[in-house]
């Protein structure tokens, strides 16, 4: 398994996509990707993903709100 590094993802304040993939969301939230998949499966996490063509996408605005990062 390859771990994410800071160079793979822009600073959350500079992220301009409306939603990010599970790997990016896990990096920003300091969680493992499998934790986020569990949140999606059991619908018990602090944020809920949207599904795009069967894939999980995590709203950037929800991640910012959860972390208290200004846009």
18-71 per-position pLDDT tens digit: 999 999 999 999 999 999 999 999 999 999 999 999 999 999 999 999 999 987
Residue 2, pLDDT score:
59
Domain boundaries, the chain: 17-67
- Total-model pTM: 0.87
Q: What is the pLDDT of residue 11?
A: 94
Strand order in the sheet with 55-59: 19-20, 55-59, 50-52
Distance, in Å, from the CA atom of 43 to the CA atom of 31, rounded to the nearest integer, reads 16
pLDDT of 71 reads 74
pLDDT of residue 5: 59
Residue 6, pLDDT score: 55
């Amino acid at each position: 398994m390859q771990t994410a590094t800071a160079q793979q993802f822009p600073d959350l304040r500079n992220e301009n996509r409306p939603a990010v993939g599970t790997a990016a969301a896990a990096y920003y939230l300091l969680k493992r990707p499998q934790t986020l998949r569990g949140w999606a499966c059991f619908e018990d996490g602090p944020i809920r993903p949207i599904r795009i063509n069967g894939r999980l996408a995590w709203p950037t605005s929800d991640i910012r709100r959860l972390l208290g990062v200004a846009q």
